[in-house]
Structure 1
Amino acid sequence: MTMPVNALSSALQQMQAMAAQAAGDASPLEQQSGAATPTSFAAAMKASLDKISDDQQKAVGESQAFELGSPNVSLNDVMVDMQKANVGFQFGLQVRNKLVAAYNEIAQMSI
């Protein structure tokens, strides 16, 4: 199943907005030097994980509403939101995998 271009564009815009927000968390001095503080990285990670969680909860809620026969919830909306939640989860999982791999690589470095 392929996603419509609108959904991909929307996801791209959301990622760009989150990246801009994460860049805005750093102080002007840190932005000039290119250094990121642990708190800004942690805040960006928390915001991303919260967004993934919210998308999953919304998809489950819409799915349950559709199953109960709510007239204002269509199958198309349920399927799109489920796919958005799935893509967000897979993205988060891949980020976690990269972070674990980077941590393991750093841990194996000799001092």
Structure 2
Amino acid sequence: MSHSITSVLSQIRSLQNQVGQVAPTGDLPRSNAIEGLTGGNAVNAPSFGQTLQGALKSVNETQQKSGQLAAAFERGEPGADLAKVMVAAQQSQLAFRATVEVRNRLVQAYQDVMNMPL
């Protein structure tokens, strides 16, 4: 499962790179809150929620593409062969499993923080 999480994290990083909002030095992007505290110029990086929403949207698109390809194969369309349908179904399944695993890890981290003694 750790390979799946690594895959999701690499997808998130590639989405950040596509947006072009990662600091060019390889440092972590600075948030607006950090900019307010330090007075420096911060890179307008997407929030965690926006990044997660983009990853979920990508998983949804993968699942829809897989479903459309399977339906096209069932209708007997010439461009949809069995190999493409199976690969798309496996990609969709792997993306969904990785998403569920990331969700489980986030819930576990939240529970760990909430159970910390003060």
For 2:70 and 2:84, the matched residues in 1 are separated by 9
For 1:81 and 1:22, the matched residues in 2 are separated by 25
Does residue 109 (structure 1) correspond to residue 116 (structure 2)? The answer is yes
Report the TM-score, using the length of structure 1 for normalisation.
0.71
Gap regions ≥5 residues in structure 2: 1-6, 35-43
For 1:95 and 1:51, the matched residues in 2 are separated by 14
How big is the alpha-carbon RMSD for the aligned residues of Structure 1 and Structure 2? Answer: 2.9
CA separation of 1:54/1:74 partners in 2, compared to 1, >3 Å: closer, same or farther? same
1:25, CA displacement in angstroms?
Answer: 6.4
1:24, CA displacement in angstroms?
Answer: 2.1
Equivalent of 2:14, from 17, 37, 50? 17
Which structure shows the bigger proportion of residues in helix conformation?
1
Equivalent of 1:45, from 39, 47, 52? 52
CA separation of 1:61/1:69 partners in 2, compared to 1, >3 Å: closer, same or farther? same
8 Å contact kept, 1:25–1:40: no
Report the TM-score, using the length of structure 2 for normalisation.
0.67
Does residue 100 (structure 1) correspond to residue 81 (structure 2)? The answer is no
8 Å contact kept, 1:66–1:74: yes
1:20, CA displacement in angstroms?
Answer: 3.1
Q: Which has the larger radius of gyration?
A: 2
8 Å contact kept, 1:22–1:40: no
Q: Secondary structure at the match of 1:73?
A: coil
CA separation of 1:29/1:86 partners in 2, compared to 1, >3 Å: closer, same or farther? closer
For 2:22 and 2:53, the matched residues in 1 are separated by 13
1:29, CA displacement in angstroms?
Answer: 4.2
For 1:104 and 1:88, the matched residues in 2 are separated by 24
Gap regions ≥5 residues in structure 1: 1-10
- State the one-letter code of the partner of 1:47: G
1:72, CA displacement in angstroms?
Answer: 1.2
Higher relative contact order (CA 8 A, sep 6+): 2
Number of positions where the alignment pairs a residue of Structure 1 with one of Structure 2: 94
Overall identity of the aligned pairs, in %: 30
- State the one-letter code of the partner of 2:113: I
